[in-house]
Structure 1
Amino acid sequence: MKVALSVPGKFHTFDLARELHAQGMLAGVLTGYPRFKLRNEGLPASLIKTFPWVMAPYMANPFKHRMPHQWVREHEHLVATTFGHWTASALPPCDVYVGLSGSSLKAGRLQQLAGGRYVCDRGSSHIRTQDALLREEHLEWGMPFRNIDPRAVAREEAEYEQADCITVPSGFVFDSFVGRGVPPERLRLLPYGVNLARFEPTGAPDPQRFDVLFVGGMSLRKGVQYLVQSWRELRHPAKSLTFVGSPSPDVIDLLKRAGLWPDEARVLGHVPQLELKHLMSRSHVMVLPSIEEGLAMVMAQAMACGCPVIASEHTGARDLFEDGQEGFIVPIRDPAALTDRLQRLAEEPGLRSRMAAASLERVKRMGGWRDYGQRASRIYSDLVAS
């Protein structure tokens, strides 16, 4: 059996490609990344095809983050359509074609016409669920909402309908598809692998303090608005709150106007992995109250550093740990629940220590990318056999 993959960027597709290549199954991987950025991906150059002509100029543009939203939307549409057309023309012979959602429809149809199988790989919730959750959140907080491009919604829904099956990374994503009418038998749950080689405990939290960590883009999607509310209610004489990841002046301004932003919070931006594992090791808890995402692997990284996690139901947390054992899982948009769990950890050092130890044990049982590749290949083999 031979499997071909396509992805406009890289994401987890190259991790999958390496594992399929190790199994002798990789027909090729097609990407919008320029070849020089793929030298260290551990794959033979002959198995990589690139179409960088639309993606690369955007990546190289130093002003891309200042571009008007409509320009960005048109560029994303251009990337999806041109990459999709090119993939259909360049797809190598294969038994199974796996395309990241959003740009795989044309190649998928051609693959099926040739007698092969087409798998749509979706990394987040159903696109209409994603759009609805984010729209609700922005309306609730009075922040302008740039809805998902209707052309992107139409492309994705056509892919969901056309594909022989849809792979999804978490139970939350799975349920979002079922909730939108997709039959469960057309879905395959395929949680990502975890590479924890660079994450390990490098210290311990200060027992006299209570340090709370957030890692991710500072956005309404990630739920920072609920984290700051809960942190303000947390009672501890030596508490701190640290944000790591892309800062958002707009979100900070919004929270300041609402009287919610804690001026003592530290906003570090992006940090190297070495510094990140130090921060995780020395924090009492990491909080990820996201409104919507597929499977946030930063949770596993924190657990590997002995840092318990409090996460929302919409992060894929249930696919990584058990509520009340290695951490806590709470409903979305529930600052009271966040405050309650934070207060318990702050007041019960023994509970925090037990969860830290349980987290370290749990990550030992998590599958790596090799396990992910084996699970994926079984899905593809069963699809071909059916």
Structure 2
Amino acid sequence: MSHYVSRLRSRPLGQHPGPPRLRLPGAGRRPRRVAMLSVHTSPLHQPGTGDAGGMNVYIVELARKLAAINIEVEIFTRATTATLPPAVELAPGVLVRHVDAGPYEGLAKEELPAQLCAFTHGVMQAWAGHRPGHYDLVHAHYWLSGHVGWLAAERWGVPLVHAMHTMAKVKNASLAAGDTPEPAARVIGETQIVRAADRLIANTAEEGDELVRHYDADPARVAVVHPGVNLDRFRPLGPGATPVTLTGPGADASVAAGRAAARDRLGLPQDALIPLFAGRIQPLKAPDVLLRAVAVLLEQRPELRSRLVVPVVGGPSGSGLAKPEELQKLAALLGIADVVRFRPPVGQQQLADWYRAASVLVMPSYSESFGLVAIEAQACGTPVIAAEVGGLPVAVRDGVTGQLVPGHDPADYARALDRFVTDPALPARMGAAAARHAQSFGWDTAAAATGDVYAAALQERRRHLRSPHG
């Protein structure tokens, strides 16, 4: 069985022994068509803007690969402009349906619960236009979608598969200073969805444990499916966009040559130390920890200033929208504005080049259900310094493809960065190992494992319907 569907790590969980290995039927029937729900963020949105991030990438890539194994996907998302067509073909076998629910613009994620009835109505209208049995299964992403999915699955008589992506109780247990706690209504909503779902997909064993521990999830309904990475887009490229060798004695040199070529394309200095932050700019992602670490590093090594470039690629999101220029002000206050380069969110192809050009990606997040950015960077041949939280210990092999840092003390991150100063060969050496590590996280494997979860949910539903006590 694939390691993507695995036993959750064993440890004390009160009355729960921990979710067992999910026995998926090898010959179980997979669904023909899945209604996938993403209420608050569209798969068509640019990751790194607003609420668009790793979940957008997850839905797009998973849907494409599900369609490739003959599972059609229709993605329902909220319309955010009046000019959007009702339906857009994202890829063969993948349709994005725009649902009118509330004002098109200026609606914060926190205001969306009031629009769930309207969104559900739109989903039901689309369903009413089809023959009975059009959708075999509902796959909801994030708790807002989970509530729509709960009603839709019950109305259609099909299984509900739900992916949390993030959980309120987990986020509230590790808030950044000054960040806003998730509301009680979300906690209640997530608890209801956990009880209603036929299957819960967790990104990692740690997340599966948290579902059982915090939300009293039935361990038998939890399946672990690691997200993937688009290995065609995110990969090391040498001069002239040639493929880079990842094995043998020349692997390190090949990755180093690819880094030099990417720096040429982006106009970055060849001899610079480049620690990169890429993602949504909000307290949860802790870009301020990187800036403070850089200030500590420069205090210890002032001679480094002339060859240090710190790109911050992304846009304000979440609670960061309240103070969109807070990070720029912090850079000025710390006296490092001259080395920090703020860049708006970029498309996936250019993002891959930023990864390739960096000496190291820095992810000091307070909470990450998985950390797709970490896998993307490693797939491009770039090591990662990451907080030892959530799924990041799965994404990053500590000491091999990067370094995990307990806590969020800038001094600890400065020490981790200093290793890349004292050992100039470290980016290439760890980068080659990182690219090899990322090869095991392809979306093909993730989609196949997700299809098995679907099949298990369908088989259980059929068994329940056949039971005289059903």
* Shorter-chain TM band: 0.7 to 0.9
Cross-structure match for 1:354? 429
Gaps of 5+ in 2: 1-29, 44-55, 239-257, 261-268, 317-322, 461-470
SS in 2 for 1:281: helix
Aligned to 1:32: 78
Is the CA contact 1:290–1:332 (under 8 Å) kept in the aligned structure 2? no
Give yes or no for the alignment of 1:190 onto 2:225: yes
Aligned pairs (5 A) from 1:101-120: 101-105=143-147, 107-109=149-151, 111-112=153-154, 116-120=158-162
Q: How has the CA–CA distance of structure 1 residues 261 and 161 changed in structure 2, closer, same or farther, with 3 Å as cutoff?
A: farther
Matched with 2:293 is 230
Structure 1 residue matching 2:177: 3-state secondary structure? helix
Q: Conserved in 2, the CA contact under 8 Å of 1:192 and 1:372?
A: yes
| Selected match of 2:450 from 370, 376, 379 | 376
Q: Give the whole-Å Cα distance in 1 for the aligned partners of 2:379 and 2:86.
A: 29
C-alpha separation between the residues in 2 aligned to 1:27 and 1:300? 25
Report what 1:133 is aligned to. Answer: 174
Aligned twin of 1:42 = 91
Deviations 1:285-332 (A, max 9, x none): 110111123233222222232211111123632332311111112223
Identity %: 24
Moved more, 327-336 or 75-84: 75-84
- Sort the Cα spacing of 1:156 and 1:43 in 2 relative to 1 into closer, same or farther, 3 A: farther
Preserved contact between residue 87 and residue 107 of structure 1 (Cα < 8 Å): no
Aligned to 1:67: none
For residue 325 of structure 1, the aligned residue among 365, 390, 400 is 400
Q: Which residue of 1 aligns with 2:320?
A: none
Alpha-carbon RMSD across the aligned residues, in angstroms, is 3.1
Determine the C-alpha separation between the residues in 2 that align with 1:179 and 1:87.
33
Compared CA separation, residues 49 and 305, structure 1 to 2 (3 A): closer
Distance 2:346 2:157 in 1: 47
- Cα distance in 2, alignment partners of residues 322 and 185 from structure 1: 29
Cα displacement string for residues 60-79 of structure 1 (whole angstroms, at most 9, x for unaligned residues): x4xx3xxxxxx635642233
Within 5 Å, give how 1:93-242 maps onto structure 2: 93=133, 94-100=135-141, 101-105=143-147, 107-109=149-151, 111-112=153-154, 116-124=158-166, 126-134=167-175, 137-139=176-178, 145-183=179-217, 184-199=219-234, 200-202=236-238, 203-204=258-259, 208-234=271-297, 235=301, 237=304, 238-242=307-311
1:87 to 103, 123, 148: 123
> Which blocks of at least 5 consecutive residues in structure 1 are unaligned?
65-70, 140-144
Deviation at 1:362, TM superposition (A): 2.0
Structure label with greater radius of gyration: 2
Write out per-residue CA displacement over residues 13-32 of structure 1, whole angstroms, 9 at most, x where no aligned residue.
Answer: 34333333333333744333
- Asked whether the 8 Å contact 1:172–1:314 carries over to 2, the reply is no
Q: Secondary structure at the match of 2:396?
A: coil
Q: Does 1:77 align with 2:123?
A: no
Structure with larger RCO (C-alpha < 8 A, sep 6+): 2
Normalised by the length of structure 1, the TM-score is 0.81
Count of residue pairs brought into register by the alignment = 363
Taking the aligned partners of 1:346 and 1:167, their CA distance within structure 2 comes to 40
Asked if structure 2 preserves the Cα contact closer than 8 Å seen for 1:280 and 1:305, the reply is: yes
> SS of 2:274's equivalent?
strand
Aligned partner of 1:201: which letter?
A: L
Residue 292 of structure 1 corresponds to which residue in structure 2? 367
Distance, in Å, in 1 between the alignment partners of 2:72 and 2:326 is: 43
Could you tell me how far 1:38 is from its partner in structure 2? 5.7
One-letter identity of the residue aligned with 2:169: R
Counterpart Cα distance in 2 of 1:250 and 1:349: 33
> What is the CA deviation profile of residues 31-80 of structure 1, one whole-angstrom value per residue up to 9, with x for unaligned ones?
33486386351145xx747343126x52xx4xx3xxxxxx6356422333
Shift of 1:377: 0.9
CA contact (8 A) 1:286 1:308 kept: yes
CA contact (8 A) 1:307 1:356 kept: yes
Q: SS of 1:36's equivalent?
A: coil
Match of 2:358 in 1: 283
* Counterpart among 336, 342, 346 of residue 267 in structure 1: 342
Cα distance in 2 between the residues matched to 1:211 and 1:346: 10
Please report the TM-score for the alignment, with normalisation by the length of structure 2.
0.68
Q: 1:5 to 1:167 in 2, by over 3 A?
A: same
Counterpart of 1:138, as a letter, is A
CA distance in 1, matches of 2:73, 2:350: 38
Structure 1 residues 332 and 86: alpha-carbon distance in aligned structure 2, compared to 1, 3 A threshold: farther
Q: CA 1:385–1:243 in structure 2 vs 1: closer, same or farther (change >3 Å)?
A: same
Deviation at 1:167, TM superposition (A): 1.0
Give 3-state SS (helix, strand or coil) of 2:108's partner.
Answer: helix
SS state at 1:130 partner: helix
Partner-residue secondary structure (3-state), 1:266 = strand
| Greater mean alpha carbon deviation, residues 26-35 or residues 233-242 | 26-35
1: distance between equivalents of 2:330 and 2:337?
A: 11
